[in-house]
Amino acid sequence: MEFKQEWLEEVLTARSRAYTPFSHFKVGAYLVTKDGRAFYGCNVENAAYGPTICAERTALVSAIAQGYRPGDFKMIVVATGADKPSSPCGVCRQVMKELCDDDMPVLMTNTAGDVIESTVAELLPNGFSGKDLTND
């Protein structure tokens, strides 16, 4: 997938909204649905740490709250300010496994515009989700 400059601009806008008074590690997410709608996410930290939410989950939860359902997502772009693009954390990988198609692109970038492309399945090989449950 060819990475577009507009995606970098959108995800960096999302990243600029992050609330990170403790780690100072801002992350932004730009989620695009199959029907072309976009949702933004940023990490929001909490002094108790456990309630902190990541950018990827913020974007996905926002989309679900607006009526989108698992499988409605086309791609997600995630940006950090690190020297090289950073991968989503384990919790975000699990949530993506639950809500996104296995072949959905996950584009990781940084403020310099370096890009690593992956898929949900590549980020969480042999993952388990509600798709694996049966009502036997």
40 carries a ligand binding annotation: no
**Per-residue DSSP letter, 89:** P
* pLDDT tens per residue across span 72-128: 999 999 999 999 999 999 999 999 999 999 999 999 999 999 999 999 999 999 999
In a domain, 68, yes or no: yes
In a domain, 83, yes or no: yes
Amino acid letter, residue 42: C
43 carries a ligand binding annotation: yes
18 carries a ligand binding annotation: no
In a domain, 57, yes or no: yes
Distances (CA, A) of 45 to 41, 53, 97, 115: 13, 7, 23, 25
Residue 20: CATH number of its domain = 3.40.140.10
Alpha carbon of residue 84 to chain centroid: 17
Give the three-class secondary structure for 107: strand
In a domain, 55, yes or no: yes
* pLDDT tens per residue across span 23-69: 999 999 999 999 999 999 999 999 999 999 999 999 999 999 999 99
In a domain, 41, yes or no: yes
Output the pTM of the full model.
0.94
Structure tokens at 44: 């929001």
- When divided into structural domains, the chain yields a total of 1
Q: Which residues are catalytic?
A: 56
Domain with 91, as residue range(s), is 5-127
In a domain, 133, yes or no: no
Query: What does 109-136 look like in DSSP terms, one character per residue?
Result: EETT--EEEEEHHHHSTT---GGG----
